[in-house]
Amino acid sequence: MVEIYVLRIGHRPGRDKRVTTHVGLVARAFGANRLILGDIVDEGVARSLRKISQLWGGLFDVIMGVNSVEYAKKWKQRGLVVHLTMYGLHVDDVIDEIRDSGKDLLIVVGAEKVPRIFYELADYNVAVGHQPHSEVAALAVFLDRYYKGAELHREFSGAKLTVIPTPRGKKVLRIGDRKNSDRHAKNEGACRDNNDYCRENDG
């Protein structure tokens, strides 16, 4: 099974906390296995994402503080480095080749200016269109193209909460021990930036 990791570079604590958390949320929800926060530690981001996984399931993992350049260099012994940038090759022209390689992927997304070395290290510089937008959108579209939409139908193992689709309102099924789910949902500090995802059911 192919493993996909997302390397977030250039994170500025405080300023980028919300966007980086959203990079992690998209990575998890769209089928990646791990978020790596390069060159810096931000416990708030890691805590939020771990709480989401505890409640909503899956084996998503977060690691922080690795040297981004060294990590990407080492990754090349294992799989492909895919850097998302508006200056790269159009996603539609390379996505089949990337998928068909069957190799593990390290997807690199930036915050502000991305150092030149990542353009050189990358096996693929991939543009999700050639207009400037956002690392969150670029990652979502790339993963969706990669999985051809199948990622949105995945079940997340070990979930304590699951949504019952409904045309109006919110229905959430609590799975297993109610006490346990309550404890996670109410855990102090849980998902401070993502309250809406953390509530079990607010009607």
Contact call for residue 90 and ligand SAM (CB under 6 A): no
Q: Using the 8-state DSSP alphabet, how is residue 152 labeled?
A: G
Nearer to ligand SAM, 113 or 153 (CB): 113
Which of 23, 29, 36, 114 binds ligand SAM (CB under 6 A)? It is: 114
Nearer to ligand SAM, 68 or 181 (CB): 68
Which of 65, 129, 158, 176 binds ligand SAM (CB under 6 A)? It is: 129
**According to DSSP H, which parts of 30-89 are helical?**
43-56, 68-75
Query: In angstroms, what is the minimal distance from the CB of 75 to ligand SAM?
Result: 16
Contact call for residue 131 and ligand SAM (CB under 6 A): yes
**Any idea which residue has 């390069």 for tokens?**
38
What CA–CA distance (Å, rounded) separates 134 from 140?
10
Contact call for residue 116 and ligand SAM (CB under 6 A): no
To 5 degrees, how large is the angle CA 93–CA 97–CA 99?
115
Which of 132, 165, 167, 169 binds ligand SAM (CB under 6 A)? It is: 132
Which of 27, 81, 138, 159 binds ligand SAM (CB under 6 A)? It is: 138
Which secondary-structure segment (H or E) carries 139?
helix 135-147
Contact call for residue 115 and ligand SAM (CB under 6 A): no
Report the sign of the C-alpha dihedral through residues 13, 15, 17, 22, in that order.
negative
Contact call for residue 86 and ligand SAM (CB under 6 A): yes
Strand-pairing partners, residue 64, are 37
Distances (CA, A) of 155 to 6, 84, 116, 123: 20, 27, 38, 31
Sites of contact with ligand SAM (CB under 6 A): 84-86, 109-111, 113-114, 127-129, 131-135, 138
